Amino acid sequence: MRIFILDDDANVIRILEKIIHDRSLGTVVGKAMDGKEGYEKIESLKPDLILIDLLMPGEDGISIVRKLKSVYSNMEFIMISQVSSKDMVEKAYKHGVEYYIYKPINALEVEIIIKKVKERMQIDKTLMKIQELFSDKEVSIENRDEKDSCEQCIKNILKKLGIMGEKGSYDIIKVCEYIINNNVDISNMTIRNLCNNFSENPKSMEQRMRRTIAVAMSNIASLGIEDYMNDIFVEYSSSLFNFEQVKKEMDFIRGKNQRGGSVNTKKFIAGLITHCENKNN
């Protein structure tokens, strides 16, 4: 990750450079101590992440963030400041700053925050892949038999959630098909028992599915952060997940919680089947 540091204190820049280098958090591609100079360098270098001071000579940090965000929407920002004013924080948040490092600089805090931003950037890349799927023409399932229709319906939902490429997605499809084709009452069975029908190591299969569903929750939470009224978020955040856990995941991504939400594999599978049955009725 390419990082730019913009702060009017040379000592702060030196400390941040050392932390980033020593902890392998990225590459510092540029630095500046003046707002105007920093803006020009950032426009030229186009870094992935900018560590920027709130108050600087030349031009303040919030003004610079606002201008850069209007042109480079994918740039991420971490605000550095001694100011703890609620109004200033809200103003910065309004213009795209979700992460803060307060002076004096703490190495562990810097590492945690930068890693959170890197995770966020990875999620954004996943979201871009999800959006690309919407540009593709959806496969018509009107002339297929009921089994193929259900399978395609499940695949379409998994694509929307950005997990079709995950190993556990194929296990999820197998389990859903088995439940549908055999009219299984899932309320009377454990996921482990269902996995016994497909694998000599049902525990590993269950874990693969759980990890894949956790990725889906992270993706859906990110969609909710970007747009609370997003169609995918509205449709699946409560039908496939416990909504309270989705909210915890959203707070975790924002850096407000130390832990994300937990997933319920049975609820996810039951929700998938319900969506497909409703679609085919």
Residue 186 DSSP label: G
Torsion, Cα of 134, 49, 98, 70 (10° steps):
-60
pLDDT of residue 87: 66
Predicted confidence band of residue 139 (pLDDT cuts 50, 70, 90): very low
Based on the domain organization, do 112 and 167 belong to the same domain?
A: no
pLDDT of residue 98: 73
Question: Residues 160, 58: one domain?
Answer: no
| Helix, coil or strand: residue 95 | coil
268: closest CA among 229, 219, 212, 228?
212
Residues 28 and 159 in one domain: no
Whether 257 has a pLDDT exceeding 80, the answer reads yes
Whether 130 is in a domain gets the answer no
Q: Place 45 in a pLDDT band, splitting at 50, 70 and 90.
A: very high
Instruction: Name the token pair of 61.
Output: 């940090």
Q: Strand pairing partners for 100? A: 79
The CATH number for 113's domain is 3.40.50.2300
Q: Taking 90 as the threshold, does the pLDDT of residue 127 lie above it?
A: no
- Is residue 103 domain-shared with residue 219, that is, in the same domain? no
Residues 66 and 145 in one domain: no
pLDDT the model gives residue 280: 61
Q: Where are the alpha helices (DSSP H) in 48-190?
A: 61-71, 86-94, 107-135, 146-160, 167-181
Taking each helix axis from N to C terminus, what angle separates 243-254 and 202-226, rounded to the nearest 10 degrees?
Answer: 70
Q: What average pLDDT score do residues 92-120 get?
A: 84
Cα separation, 255 vs 251, in Å, equals 6
Provide the pLDDT for residue 118.
Answer: 86
Which DSSP helix (H) or strand (E) runs through 31?
strand 27-32
pLDDT score, position 120: 76
pLDDT at residue 142 greater than cutoff 60: no
With 50 as the cut, is the pLDDT of residue 144 above it? no
Average pLDDT in the 10-27 region?
A: 94
236: in domain: yes
Residue 190 has pLDDT above 60, yes or no: yes
Q: Are residues 87 and 149 in the same domain?
A: no
CA pair distance 280, 36, nearest whole angstrom? 59
Q: What average pLDDT does this structure show over 15-42?
A: 93
Does 129 reside within a domain?
no
pLDDT mean across residues, the chain: 84
pLDDT tops 90 at residue 229: no
Least confident of 39-48, 140-149, 191-200: 140-149
Q: Is the pTM of this model over 0.85?
A: no
Q: 99 and 148 share a domain? A: no
Question: How far, in Å, CA of 158 to CA of 236, rounded?
Answer: 11
| Residue 82 CB contacts under 8 Å (≥ 6 apart), including other chains | 102, 103
Nearest to 126 by CA among 199, 57, 223, 27: 223
> pLDDT (tens digit, 9 = 90+) per residue, 70-97?
788 778 899 887 765 566 667 777 776 8
Share of the chain above pLDDT 70, in %: 87
What total of structural domains would you count in the chain? 2
Using alpha carbons, list the distances in angstroms from residue 216 to 87, 127, 157, 231: 35, 11, 10, 15
- Verify that 94 and 162 share a domain, yes or no: no
Confirm whether 168 is domain-assigned.
yes
C-alpha span between 36 and 92 (Å, rounded)? 18
Both 267 and 224 in a single domain? yes
The answer to whether residues 155 and 257 belong to one domain is: yes
Question: Nearest 5°: phi and psi at 102?
Answer: -100, 140
Domain hosting residue 261, numbered range:
137-280
Task: Please indicate, yes or no, whether residues 153 and 269 belong to a single structural domain of this protein.
Answer: yes
44-58, 120-134, 217-231, 233-247: the lowest-pLDDT one:
120-134
Average pLDDT over residues 227-248: 90
Q: What average pLDDT score do residues 223-244 get? A: 89
Q: At 27, is the secondary structure helix, strand, or coil?
A: strand
Low-confidence winner among 74-88, 199-213, 226-240 (lowest mean pLDDT): 74-88
What pLDDT sits at residue 86?
61
235 located within any domain: yes
Pair 27, 157 in one domain: no
**Quick check: is 74 in a domain?**
yes
In a domain, 234, yes or no: yes
Average pLDDT of span 180-187: 84
What was the pLDDT predicted at 114? Answer: 92
Distance, C-alpha 29 to centroid of its chain: 25
The verdict on residue 20 lying in a domain is: yes
What average pLDDT score do residues 153-175 get?
A: 88
